[in-house]
Structure 1
Amino acid sequence: MVKHTGRPGYLQIADDLRAQIRGGSLAPGAPLPSTAKLAEQYDASLSVVKLAVGVLRTEGLVIGQQGKGVFVRDAEEQPPAADSTSEVAELRAAVQDLSLRLAKVEEQLATSTTHRSGRGSR
């Protein structure tokens, strides 16, 4: 069941399904329950469940087969579990770097705009 924790429901469902896959409850090659069954199980809408399964697809944990369903990928095909602490640190560093670069671009833009407006008033 999706809880009212402030974390989006689709992420809560993805977290639970991911834990089942990593823990072996959902074995490689096993089909995920249908979207309707998952929606009932988690007391969520079909669109929320589809978003959760989409997260797992993006992570490479499951794969869809047209007309057959969504299946857990084989363990050797799955990416290794990410170390969330190092991943967050990497993301923070990337955001800080992008912030600095953006500040430089904005400064250059402001400087070039000032020079242009100065030319027209001569």
Structure 2
Amino acid sequence: MKNIIFYTLIVLFLLSCKKEKPEFEIRRSYHTFVIDGHLEECSFQMFTGVFETKCYRVTNESNNTFRLAIGDLKFDAYETGYRYTVRVLCEQKILNREPYQDETYSPQYIVLEVLKKEKL
């Protein structure tokens, strides 16, 4: 009888515990991008200075053209000289708290499938 009361109290205690939100969530969305056939030189301002890198020239489904650094788009099958139409997964970290000083998270893009590949 004591065991039943003990386990009942433990279960009631665990059910009454307040569940806190996790520190961050990952928001996922899917997009179709057209990736140009050559990489561009680009620079990004970071906390400690300006960094030079290579970027993809990308057009999204809304016809907006922008540049994505190689580190922000995971595309292992890319070859210079081809224009790609690809389906992409975008993962964005969303904080459920106030960010620390200079804490930012850029979205990460992963190519899921190549829809079209055309020679330029």
Taking structure 1 as the reference length, what is the TM-score of the superposition? Answer: 0.22
Question: Higher relative CO (CA 8 A, sep ≥ 6), structure 1 or 2?
Answer: 2
